[in-house]
Amino acid sequence: MVVRMMEKTDPSIEWIDISNPTKAELKEISARYNLHRALVEDSLQPEHLPKYEKVENIHFLILRIYSERATRQSYTIQQLTDKVAIFIASGFIITIHRRDWKFLEEIRAGYAETGNCQSTFDILQKIILKSFLTYEQPLGDLIGTIETLEPQIFLEKRMPELLQDLYYLKRHAYVIHKLLNLSRGIVENLSDKIPAPDLNNLKDTWLREYTNSDHVMDNSNALLNTYISLTSQRTNEVVRVLTVFSVFFMPLTFIVGIYGMNFDFMPELNWKAGYPAILLVMVLVTIGIYLWFRRKGWL
């Protein structure tokens, strides 16, 4: 659906918003504004990562916006984010997306139509800023998740089953970090088109979200590695205890095995003190093993 967000005014600014477009609508728009065919095809591909290109006097960029439909079990870029493609020149700006976004209407009503908008790049700056801000709440939720999982890993005596939760946490952090890193090129390429105060605000917002994503990324990796290490350590502790018990019983089993062979000529079998003597030997062997383990510091 094609919606004219702003008609041409003085200064000449035209904003066309296309939601869930058909091929016929895009063909008409591309012919009217002389859009490059390859860039129009890129705008239709849902898996495209953030990018910036310029063909003649038309700038083309793709933004990834954190999706309201993302869930805790989402882990791919397509599940966590949605794409907005933008064509922009000095006289027009065209936004193309498959889902309706409230912030586009908010920019139109609260900024573009109030007379504060001096150029199409003013509108673009607001759109990029809003796209970065969509990551703010998810990053805050991820930080809260880390603070919840950390004491469970370190303080609970029995290791909880958190591997799946840690995987989703790591994937969320990785996807956001990757998309924000790729979005840096968009801001850098538009530095000569956006006024300095607005550009600095945009860079500050990007840097804040990127720093938070980097923080979450590092902490999620550290937490996952710690979880795996502690799980291995506790498994090794169990194996160590079982090994100690097996060492105690190995010589006793050996002694019992000898006198369980039932040969006819075994003098100890006819000795009246044979049974208590063997029990005493087994006790002495057990005590000897215990004292040896204590001396080695294994008990």
pLDDT at residue 128 tops 50: yes
Q: Look at residue 107 in the predicted model and tell me its pLDDT.
A: 81
User: What is the pLDDT, as a whole number, of residue 1?
Assistant: 44
Average pLDDT, the chain: 84
Instruction: Check: CB of residue 97 under 8 Å from CB of residue 84.
Output: yes
User: Which pLDDT tens digit goes with each residue over 144-203?
Assistant: 999 998 888 888 777 678 888 889 999 999 999 999 999 999 999 988 888 888 889 999
In this prediction, residue 157 carries a pLDDT of 72
The pLDDT assigned to 112 comes to 62
pLDDT of residue 244: 79
Find the length of the chain: 299
pLDDT value, residue 51 = 92
> What domains does the chain contain, in order, with CATH numbers?
2-232 (3.30.460.20), 259-296 (no CATH)
C-alpha torsion sign, points 248, 249, 250, 256 = positive
User: What's the confidence (pLDDT) of residue 3?
Assistant: 52
pLDDT value at residue 216: 93
> For the ranges 190-199, 222-231, 254-263, which has the lowest average pLDDT?
254-263
pLDDT confidence band for 10 (50 / 70 / 90): very low
Half-sphere exposure of 229 toward its Cβ, with a 13 Å CA cutoff? 7
Q: How far apart are the first and last CA of the chain?
A: 75
